[in-house]
Amino acid sequence: MKTLCMMLLAAPPQVQFTDVTEGTGVEFVSEGGVGNQLIVDTMGSGLGLVDLDGDGDLDLYLLTGSRVEPYEDGEAPPRNRLYRNDGELRFTDVSAGSGMDLTGWSMGCAFADYDADGDLDAYLTRMGSNALLRNEGGLRFVDVTAAAGADDPRWSAGCSFFDADGDGALDLYVVNYVDFEGRLARHGGDWNHEDFRQFRQLPHYFDPVPNTLLRNRGDGTFEDVTEEAGVADSTGRGLGVVTCDLDQDGDQDFYVANDTTANSLFLNEGSGVFEEVGAEWMVAYNGSGKPEGSMGVAWGDVDADGQWDLLVTNFDNEQNTLYRNAGYGYFEDGTGAAGLREPTREAVGWGVGLFDHDNDGDLDAFFANGHVVTSVPLFMIRHLLPESRLPGVLESEHFGAWPRSRTARPSVRASRCEPVRACRCARCARATATSARIH
């Protein structure tokens, strides 16, 4: 007698998220310039989830934008907000008196114990002077930017603390975007000037500005070692940065996502000197050999082969790019094989995160999408009408389809030099969410 045995495999559970903002005590809207349709108006702000008071739960720091024209007397400009986590999804606004409630254009933030006193300090990238805020305890912070030599007066976007030279002190890399004020000054500060108005939202119209590497002297101050380290990246319009040991040689490397220009990979050669190998390692351009409008970047071992991969968000019609680490100093564009090409092509990708959202042992990807098209009808036609672009969760059936070991558990490790990475997410009030699940 023959017996037919059948094995029924249950479908993986669908993980659902619920918006619980109302009732948590968090009331915040990140503001930005409106009406002028300038490139800075299209760039929103990030946030940080980090335990700033050392009580074991994550507090919330929210950044806001501003506007180019000055505020009138009696008109309160928007401020960054700090919310203390009281547990059980309850937060208290403790911004007033904290030293964290800055006005002006804040773009991103990173947190680390740069002065080795046992608590986490904050660095804010801004359009204009950046800010280094030293944690004094009790959710009180002091602006020590000037005294520490940590300022960068240009338009900064991303940043990361990491030990660049292996001396045990956390250095700081600051990614700068474009020379907005310099271009505007050529037209007498008039953003309605005919030669400025037609291009005021296009990054190609603005000159890139170099990035900055600040070396931690170990006494609470920094020195600019950008040129000596070889990391200026002066041709890139930088937005995002991640630090990790990509070549697994024991020191920290970093990758920069550039907007409309080639992305950059800096390998640490030891003692704080770096070599840029983006093109050589096949992570400067997409698989077609073209630069993209890159904005956000995350890293992790998405295919469980023991190598760190890179996932980069890009402008619409470009799709987000997965650079799969093939080892031996070589990456390949794994976007198509991972099933990410079509699901991400029509969206403007900003923030990105790799995490195991369904606890199945694989890394999943979350993309925070926005837009920079000021014509609402055009935006609706191109982005809102397709069902795949409506807010919600999008499952990709082939994310991670290449052969891989199922015994090795993928991981996203926190860099030893970057305890908390800033999230540059949802930089638009019309942001939509896209999720791709790795099988």
Contacts of residue 153, Cβ cutoff 8 Å, sequence gap at least 6 = 128, 129, 130
> What is the distance between the alpha carbons of residues 228 and 197, in angstroms, rounded to a whole number?
39
Mean pLDDT of all residues belonging to the chain: 84
pLDDT at 435: 36
Read off the pLDDT of residues 339-366 as tens digits, 9 standing for 90 and up: 999 999 888 899 999 999 999 999 999 9
Q: Which two tokens stand for residue 159?
A: 């940043």
User: Which of 313-328 are b and which e, b meaning 16 or more Cβ less than 10 Å from the residue's Cβ?
Assistant: bbbbebbbbbbbbbee
Identify the weakest region by mean pLDDT among 122-126, 225-229, 307-311, 400-404: 400-404
Higher pLDDT, 75 or 426: 75
Contacts of residue 226, Cβ cutoff 8 Å, sequence gap at least 6 = 210, 211, 212, 213, 232
Higher pLDDT, 201 or 334: 334
> What is the distance between the alpha carbons of residues 76 and 72, in angstroms, rounded to a whole number?
8
Percent of the chain with pLDDT over 70: 81
Quote the pTM value: 0.84
Read off the pLDDT of residues 130-160 as tens digits, 9 standing for 90 and up: 999 999 999 999 999 999 999 999 999 999 9
Contacts of residue 102, Cβ cutoff 8 Å, sequence gap at least 6 = 79, 80, 124, 126, 131
Strand order in the sheet with 348-355: 348-355, 364-370, 432-436
Read off the pLDDT of residues 82-131 as tens digits, 9 standing for 90 and up: 999 999 999 999 999 999 999 999 999 999 999 999 999 999 999 999 99
Q: For residue 167, count CB atoms less than 10 angstroms from its CB and return exposed for 0-12, middle for 13-18, buried for 19 or more.
A: middle
Query: Within 13 Å of residue 249, how many CA atoms lie on the same side as its CB?
Result: 11
